[in-house]
Amino acid sequence: MKIFTLDKNYNVVCNWKNTRSGFKHIATLCRNGIEIGDTKICYLNRTWESFEYESILKKIIDLYFGEKNSHEKYLKGIKKLGL
């Protein structure tokens, strides 16, 4: 499990699980410690991300902040995590 802080109000808790044909990443978005949404991505083999959980972080930001002004800010923030 890994926790990513987007800002003072939002955190994303990421985890992975084995599946029959590979594995999946699961992300849960929390606002002030309360779960407000989740998503998953299933993989058949290794991913080639810049850092672990990069794709699932982008997906949950797109799902829950796609129409809001904070969308670009959070995407830029996760790019910094990969450095």
pLDDT band at residue 82 using 50, 70 and 90 as cut-offs: low
Domain boundaries, given as residue ranges, for the chain: 2-81
What b/e string do you get for 38-70 counting C-beta neighbours within 10 Å, with b at 16 or more? bbbbeeeeeeeeeeebbbbbbebbeebbeeeee
9-44, pLDDT tens digit by residue?
999 999 999 999 899 999 999 999 999 999 999 998
Residue 83 is predicted with a pLDDT of: 43
Q: What is the pTM of this model?
A: 0.85
Residue 72 has a pLDDT of 82
